[in-house]
Amino acid sequence: MEWHNIPDSLIDAVSASLLGTANESKKGELNEWLAENDSNRLFYDNIKKPEVLAGMLARLSSYDTESALILIKSRLESKRRRRSLFRKAAATAAACIAAGIFLLFSLPSFSELETSEDSRIITGTSHPVEDINFISGSRSVAIARNADIVIGERGNVTITGSENEDIATIDVAEAQELRLVVPRGRRSSIVLPDGTKVSINAGTTLKFPSKFAKNERRIQVEGEIFVDAAHDPSRPFFVEAGDMTIKVLGTQFNVSCYAEEAGSSVVLVDGSVEVSAFEERRTMEPGQMCRTDNGKLSMQKIDTEEYVSWKDGYILLPRKMPVSEVLTKIERYYNVNFSCSDRGTLADRTCWGKLMLAEDMENILKAICLISGTTYERDGDAILIKADSVSNL
């Protein structure tokens, strides 16, 4: 008998005996088989142990059949559309150049690719990107692209697009609270009436007055901003971010305070700020990060570039970073959600370097996949990222 020609009746006899439902004829078949040789006996004695069988059943149920089926379907589809490897590589390289991506990359060696055991997938969903909203009182201006906003001393607001084209001008007559809502997938910047420059990251709401008070300047943020505060010792600048209040005289710093993240943090690039929260007060030095952490403030030394590079349009990956972490970093910029499947996160697929935040998500995904040894497929809003190795197997 060939090893793979196993009679159904034998499978039934062994299974039924293990479950205690075997009739006489099945018991007979089992015994006959057990008497054939010692290795059959050893096999049966082992599988008969309850803890062994329970472990085997648990392992059998650990494979994810439905995900695998989806993966196979998408791979069949992409095989149909597969271009030659050269054209594919050339196109990806071109995409990287187009996206202005400078990569100090570590391409896994071929042997790594081929022997990798990692076939896990990451799926993603891309969502439509909403307009930026500039709100003053009952008036609201929707801006359908990344925009720069300047508020003049007399409350005249100028909104320009990324290529300096005029989008709108508004006059805000009396002093009132203004609100700028920058949704996920958009970025913006604003010059406040005192000349302070604020870069606004995706998914951020900023509140500020059209005219600052005589004795202080105060803004509120939920999300992430980088502030280059105009120097004015007579009017300290305050940023309120969640539990934190940051007092500034004139300096550059980053504030991050997303509702979906625990706590707020300040990264100081230059000058000096004073952070207060939970009745605690700390003075920061450049190169430090201060964050709220379980009801208290904690300080640490960091590389500021990593935290503030977004304002200059790139993400710095200072060390080898798993693809899943890199994807999490870009979620907010392109309004996309990635979920790593239960079994893990393509942990051995890494990249590092500078990722330029291109306008088009397609380009940045292509680049991430190229350097990390993964491939990516897109079907409408759905995104699938998986290790390269499978097709080489």
Q: What angle do CA 364, 341, 259 make, to 5 degrees?
A: 70
Residue of 78, 92, 106, 119 that binds other proteins (CB under 8 A): 119
- Is the distance from CB of 143 to CB of 157 less than 8 angstroms? no
| Long-range contacts, stretch 8-14, CB < 8 angstroms, 24+ apart | 14/44, 14/47
Q: What is the DSSP string of 27-43?
A: HHHHHHHHHH-HHHHHH
Q: Site residues for other proteins, window 163-192 (CB under 8 A)?
A: none
Q: How far is the CB of 20 from other proteins (least distance, A)?
A: 6
Pairing mode, strands 132-136 and 139-143 = antiparallel
Is residue 389 a contact point for other proteins (CB under 8 A)?
yes
Residue of 32, 45, 68, 231 that binds other proteins (CB under 8 A): 68
Query: Any alpha helices (H) in 81-144, and if so which ranges?
Result: 85-98, 110-115
Is residue 76 a contact point for other proteins (CB under 8 A)?
yes
Residue placing its CB nearer to other proteins in the complex, 259 or 393: 393
Enter the DSSP assignment of 311.
G
Of the listed pieces 109-117, 136-144, 248-256, 322-330, which binds other proteins according to CB under 8 A?
A: 109-117
Is residue 75 a contact point for other proteins (CB under 8 A)?
yes
Is residue 356 exposed (0-12), middle (13-18) or buried (19+ Cβ within 10 Å)?
Answer: middle
**107, HSE (Cβ side, Cα atoms, 13 Å):** 8
Residue of 27, 32, 57, 177 that binds other proteins (CB under 8 A): 57
Helix (H) / strand (E) element for 355: namely strand 350-356
Residue of 35, 50, 86, 214 that binds other proteins (CB under 8 A): 50
Is residue 31 a contact point for other proteins (CB under 8 A)?
no
Please give the structure tokens belonging to residue 84: 């030659």
Enter the DSSP assignment of 14.
H
Residue placing its CB nearer to other proteins in the complex, 354 or 386: 386
Is residue 35 a contact point for other proteins (CB under 8 A)?
no
CB atoms within 10 A of CB 287: 14
Of the listed pieces 38-46, 151-159, 200-208, 363-371, which binds other proteins according to CB under 8 A?
A: 38-46
Q: How far is the CB of 382 from other proteins (least distance, A)?
A: 19
Is residue 65 a contact point for other proteins (CB under 8 A)?
yes
Of the listed pieces 64-72, 92-100, 197-205, 357-365, which binds other proteins according to CB under 8 A?
A: 64-72
Is residue 24 a contact point for other proteins (CB under 8 A)?
no
Enter the DSSP assignment of 102.
B
Torsion-angle region of residue 131: left (phi > 0), alpha (psi -120 to 50) or beta?
A: beta
Helix-then-strand count for the chain, H and E:
11, 24
Of the listed pieces 118-126, 180-188, 229-237, 360-368, which binds other proteins according to CB under 8 A?
A: 118-126
Of the listed pieces 72-80, 260-268, 326-334, 356-364, which binds other proteins according to CB under 8 A?
A: 72-80
Residue of 18, 170, 191, 356 that binds other proteins (CB under 8 A): 18
Is residue 72 a contact point for other proteins (CB under 8 A)?
yes
Residue of 31, 109, 115, 300 that binds other proteins (CB under 8 A): 115
- Is the distance from CB of 194 to CB of 212 less than 8 angstroms? yes
Is residue 120 a contact point for other proteins (CB under 8 A)?
yes
| Residues 1, 59: Cα–Cα separation, whole Å | 28
| Residues 150, 184: Cα–Cα separation, whole Å | 21
Of the listed pieces 12-20, 158-166, 195-203, 365-373, which binds other proteins according to CB under 8 A?
A: 12-20
Is residue 342 a contact point for other proteins (CB under 8 A)?
no
Of the listed pieces 69-77, 264-272, 285-293, 323-331, which binds other proteins according to CB under 8 A?
A: 69-77
Closest CA to 225 of 308, 144, 286: 308
Residue 81 φ/ψ, nearest 5 degrees: -95, 5
Is residue 343 a contact point for other proteins (CB under 8 A)?
yes
- In angstroms, the Cα distances linking 63 to 3, 117, 390 are 24, 15, 17
Residues that bind other proteins (CB under 8 A): 1-6, 8-12, 14-16, 18-23, 26, 39-40, 43, 47, 50, 53-54, 56-57, 59-66, 68-69, 71-72, 75-76, 79, 111, 114-115, 117-120, 343, 389-391, 393
